Each structure stands twice: as C-alpha cells, then as structure tokens.
C-alpha cells in the first residue's frame, strides 16, 4: 500500500517507519527537515497546512498521522486539531478509505477517569478535560469521528502514553531508567509502538466492528488500570517487549545508546 | 450583570444584545476584522488581551453558530482554539456562567418524525463547516464544564430565526427573535441549571420538529411561548 505519514520525524515516526518500510511504499512528511538516517521518500510539510496535506495525500491508500505538539497553545491547536482536520479533508478529497490517528490515552481517558477507575478501555466515551495536549488531541479525534461517520472513512486511533527504550526501559524522563519504582501503568517499548501502526494499517476491515475504532497500545501490565485486550484481539498486535523490568525486581544492565529505528 | 457577547457583528448577537441592554451592562466583542463601533476588537488569542476582555464579566454569551464567516480553516480555528482561549480566560477570571448559542441543525440529518430531545446524540455534518464548527464549540465547552471550571448552558435553537411565525410557514424548526432573546435572558437568571445543560428551543409551529420540554422545565416563564 502507499502510505502517507504525517509528523513522521518525531519520536514515534521512525519506529513506525521501521515496521512499515519493507512492506509498503512510504511518503514520510514532517514540519522539520529530513532525518539524516532516513533514506526514503520525504516531504517537508506541516500537518496544519490543509492544502499541502491534501496535495501530499494524492494517490495514497492510507494516511498515518503521528504528529504531536504539546506545550504551545497556537501550535497545539494547529497540529493536534487542525492537523486531523487536514488529514480528514485529504481522505475525503481523494477517497482514501483508511486513516490511522494517534495520540495519548488521556485524549479519551482523561484525568477524571484515571484518578477514579480501573479497567479503563478504549471504548469508553471520551472525556479529555481541558489540559491543552489532551484537549487538542481530543478535538482532533472528534473531527476524525465526524468525518468517519459522514463519509465512511475508516479511522483507527492508536493511543499511547509512556514509551520506553527496549534495551534499558528508559523513557523521555531525565536521569535514566528507574527500576524497582512504581511505573506508569501504560508503558510500551518503542519498537512495539511501531508495530502497532503496522497492525492498524494492515488489519482487514472485516475485523473492525465499526468505521471508527480506538485502541490502547501497551503490553500486558499487572496494574489493572487500563485494558489492552482489544488491540490484541482485533488488530492481532503482539508486543515483543513486556517491560516487566519496570514492574518486577529483576535488574537489567543498560547497554549503550542504540538507535535502530530506521 | 456584566455580560460579554462574542461575535457581536453577527445577526444573532445583535438580537441578544438589543434585548439585554436595558437590564445589563453589555460588553461587545468581535474579531478585529469584524469589530466596529463600540465593539472591542479581540482575536481571542491566548494572553493578556483575552484576559482583559473577560475581566469583571459575570456571564459570557458566546455565538457558537454562524457568528463568523471565512474559510473552512478559519472557522475550524475559531470554533476550537478561540473558544478554548475564551473559556480558559473566563475560568481564570471567575466568570460564573457561559451561555453558548448553538443550533438544532446538529440534528438536521435525523428524520423529522423522530422525537429528538437533549438526550439524543448530535450528528453534525462534516461538509458544512459552520455546523461542524458549532459541534466543535460544544465539545470545547463541555470539557470546561466537565472540569468544573465554568458552568455552561448550551442553547440549541431551531432554524431559521424569524421575526414571527406565519400560520402557513413550512419551517418546522423556526425560532422567533423574541424567543431567542427571552431564552438567553432566562438562562442568565436561572439558578436551576447544572454545570452543563443542553436546552433545545424552537417556536411552536405546525408540525413542530423538536421537543422543548427541557426549556419549559428550566425556564417556566417561557412556557407560554414554547407551546401553542
């Protein structure tokens, strides 16, 4: 399939590329310049550029939106909300039947869920709250839902949260990995984050109950806070890394930094 | 009461402002390319200007449908980012009530014979950005209400807005100007509403499309105008 990836130079993009590049034709786009390690087709493009996204999506089979912007108010709306609008306008214009959206789990299961409940699952009604990142992503998701409803576009949304390096289970937090501490009960290794995108791109439509389906992306974790059953059952996603080093007291020796994304 | 009305150049805002000006202190605002006369030009960006706009305000009446014109992207930006900025400033300033003027056209894809009430999920268009924008404004408002940052009354009015309902009119969801004004006035005064309340309002017409029992319940003074 021909796949347009938006926001592909971020943290998740390279791992999605790794999972997809030998199986599909990829046009990678990002607001930033091409990563020096990436050798495939590339277009510098802001996801908020509606006309540009429409143009880039011509002749594509699938659009994958991995763009993210958190702290700046204007940019967050431009990227997280308007970016999804651009993606859906492009899908409608070109008759693209499937888009893959991404975001944080709390764009749906916001703080009012997380602070109170367990067994949170991706089919709950969204309640993002007003925190900028969650809110803007939730608005983007709502745009996707409406377009899906009205135009029959298949929207598969992958919700992530805490990504970990597979070799030492460190994340984006400073100070290196922490072992034998409480962990975020929604943690996933980067390579598995990428294979989830592959699973979403390739899942047969017949396996999807509706045209707008959302999935929590994380391996089996013992906390019972969130539920990952759906992604395993529907997408057949099998995480390779169980991040058990974070939730049991086995010790892992961190190796050198390794960047195997591309 | 000190009241801020957004999109003040719009026809809807004028209907409301004219009706409230006798009893309240009205502050009018619109985007800088629309503002004229005594309106405060404000593009609803985040920052001090929007904070100043809502300072000292008790209630905001936000024109969440057909308040603005422009490109699709402009309208999407207005109905999401600008609304968020306004609500963010309002919640920080202690505004106690936010009245969002929305539309029953969010249900226009439903068959007319269905008994649509506030319990029904809206079904907005993705083609008509004015309607999609109204929906997105509602979503933004609801999250501020959910977080208990400001109480929101979401008034969905029938269409079109008319001076008076004519006996032979074919409009089944028409709403008169005076009913719009009276509903907003009652919304300002009511202390019976929760942090988030949808209210459907249209004038009583032949083959009336939408049920208005919720409006009659919360705004008993309107009962006579809501039924024939």
Q: Please answer yes or no on whether B81 and A74 come within 8 Å at the CB atom.
A: yes
pLDDT score, position B168: 84
Q: How far is CA A119 from the centre of its chain?
A: 21
- Determine contact: B125 vs chain A, CB below 8 A: yes
Closest by Cβ to A130, choosing from B73, B81, B144:
B144
Contact flag B81-A150 (C-beta cutoff 8 Å): no
Edge-to-edge strands, sheet with B59-63: B40-41, B25-30, B2-5, B59-63, B97-103, B151-157, B196-201
- Per-residue pLDDT at A252 exceeds 80: no
Q: Which residues of B touch A151 (CB under 8 A)?
A: 126
pLDDT more than 70, % of chain A? 95
Per-residue pLDDT, B222: 95
Contact present, A123 and A181 (Cβ < 8 Å) = no
Nearest-CA distance B153 → chain A (Å): 17
Instruction: State whether residue A159 is helix, strand or coil.
Output: strand
Say what the ipTM of the complex is. Answer: 0.94
pLDDT tens string A145-166: 999 999 999 999 999 999 999 9
Mean per-residue pLDDT for B135-143?
Answer: 98
DSSP state of A206: G
* Mean pLDDT, range A54-64, rounded to an integer: 98
Name chain B contacts of A109, Cβ cutoff 8 Å.
Answer: none
For chain B, first and last CA: distance in Å? 32
Contact criterion met (CB below 8 Å) for B39 and B29: yes
What pLDDT, on a 0 to 100 scale, did the predictor assign at position B149? 97
Q: Worst-scoring range by mean pLDDT, A18-22, A91-95, A176-180, B69-73?
A: A176-180
Query: Mutation test of the interface with chain A: which of B81, B125, B137, choosing the one with the most A Cβ atoms within 10 A?
Result: B81
Which pLDDT score is estimated for A255? 59
Q: How far apart are CA A92 and CA A153, in angstroms?
A: 8
- pLDDT of A213 over the 90 cut: yes
How close B148 gets to chain A, by Cα (Å)?
Answer: 10
Lowest-confidence pick of A167-171, A188-192, B197-201, B202-206: A167-171
- pLDDT score recorded for residue B166: 87
Residue A254, pLDDT above cutoff 60: no
Determine the distance in angstroms separating the CA of B124 from the nearest CA of chain A, rounded to an integer.
7
Q: Tell me which chain B residue has its CA closest to the CA of residue A48.
A: B73
pLDDT at B85 over 90: yes
User: What value does the mean pLDDT take over residues B173-192?
Assistant: 96
* Set of chain B residues whose Cβ sits within 8 Å of the Cβ of A145: none
Cα within 13 Å of Cα(B34), Cβ side: 18
User: Who among A89, A129, A149 is closest to B143 (CB)?
Assistant: A129
Of the candidates B103, B226, B113, the one whose C-alpha atom is nearest the C-alpha of residue B155 is B103
Write down the pLDDT at residue A173. Answer: 82
Q: What is the dihedral of CA A142, A147, A150, A155, to 10 degrees?
A: -90
How would residue A251 be classed by pLDDT, with cut points 50, 70 and 90? Answer: low
Range B171-182 average pLDDT: 97
Mean pLDDT, rounded, of chain A: 93
Give yes or no for residue A20 having a pLDDT over 60. yes
The mean per-residue pLDDT over the stretch A165-180 comes to: 86
CB atoms within 10 A of CB A39: 10
For chain A, the domains span 2-247
Predicted confidence band at A247 (pLDDT cuts at 50, 70, 90)? confident
Average pLDDT for chain B? 96
Distance from CA of A89 to the nearest CA of B (A): 9
Summarize pLDDT for A82-136 with one digit per residue, the tens: 999 999 999 999 999 999 999 999 999 998 899 899 999 999 999 999 999 999 9
Nearest to B61 by CA among B35, B92, B36, B30: B30
Which residue's entry shows tokens 């990002």?
A: A30
The CATH number, out of the four listed (3.40.50.150, 3.30.390.50, 3.40.50.720, 3.40.50.970), of the domain defined by the range A2-247? 3.40.50.720
Q: Which residue has the higher pLDDT, A2 or A167?
A: A2
Domains, chain B: 2-226 (3.40.50.720)
Using an 8 Å Cβ cutoff, are A260 and A18 in contact? Answer: yes
């Amino acid at each position: 399939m021909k796949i347009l990836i938006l926001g592909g130079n971020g943290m998740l993009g390279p791992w999605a590329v790794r999972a997809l590049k030998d199986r599909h034709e990829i046009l990678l786009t990002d607001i930033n310049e091409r990563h020096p390690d990436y050798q495939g087709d590339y277009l510098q493009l802001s996801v908020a550029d509606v006309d540009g996204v429409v143009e880039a999506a011509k002749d594509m089979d699938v659009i994958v939106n991995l763009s993210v912007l958190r702290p700046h108010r204007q940019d967050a709306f431009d990227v997280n909300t308007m970016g999804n609008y651009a993606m859906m306008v492009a899908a409608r214009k070109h008759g693209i039947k499937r888009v893959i959206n991404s975001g944080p789990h709390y764009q749906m299961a916001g703080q009012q869920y997380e602070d109170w409940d367990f067994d949170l699952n991706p089919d709950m009604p969204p309640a993002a709250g007003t925190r900028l990142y969650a809110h803007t992503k939730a608005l983007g998701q709502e745009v996707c839902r409406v377009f899906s409803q009205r135009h029959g576009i298949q929207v598969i949304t992958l919700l992530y949260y805490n990504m970990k390096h597979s070799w030492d289970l460190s994340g984006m937090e400073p100070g290196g990995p922490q072992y034998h501490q409480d962990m975020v009960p929604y943690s996933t290794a980067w390579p598995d984050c990428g294979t989830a995108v592959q699973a979403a791109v390739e899942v047969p439509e017949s396996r999807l109950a509706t045209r707008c389906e959302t999935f929590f992306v994380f391996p089996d974790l013992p906390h019972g806070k969130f539920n990952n059953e759906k992604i395993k059952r529907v997408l057949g996603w099998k995480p390779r890394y169980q991040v058990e080093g974070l939730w049991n007291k086995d010790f892992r020796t961190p190796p050198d930094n390794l960047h195997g994304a591309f | 009461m000190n009241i801020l009305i957004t999109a003040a150049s719009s026809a809807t805002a004028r209907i409301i402002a004219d009706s409230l000006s006798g009893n309240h202190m009205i502050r009018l605002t619109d985007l800088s390319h629309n503002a004229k006369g005594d309106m405060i030009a404000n593009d609803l960006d985040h920052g001090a200007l929007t904070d100043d706009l809502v300072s000292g305000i008790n209630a905001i009446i936000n024109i969440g449908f057909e308040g603005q014109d422009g490109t699709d992207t402009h309208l999407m930006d207005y109905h999401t980012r600008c609304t968020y900025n306004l609500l963010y400033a309002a919640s920080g300033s202690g505004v106690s009530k936010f009245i969002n003027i929305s539309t029953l056209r969010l249900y226009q894809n439903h068959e007319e014979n269905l008994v649509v009430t506030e319990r029904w999920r809206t079904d907005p268009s993705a083609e008509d950005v004015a309607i999609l924008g109204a929906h997105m404004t509602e979503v933004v408002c609801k999250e501020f209400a959910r977080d208990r940052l400001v109480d929101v009354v979401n008034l969905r009015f029938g269409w079109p807005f008319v001076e008076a309902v004519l006996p032979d009119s074919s409009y089944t969801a028409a709403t008169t100007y005076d009913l719009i004004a009276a509903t907003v006035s009652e919304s300002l005064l009511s202390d019976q509403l929760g942090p988030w309340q949808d209210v459907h309002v249209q004038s009583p017409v032949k083959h009336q499309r939408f049920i208005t029992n919720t409006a009659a319940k919360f705004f008993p003074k309107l009962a006579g105008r809501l039924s024939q």
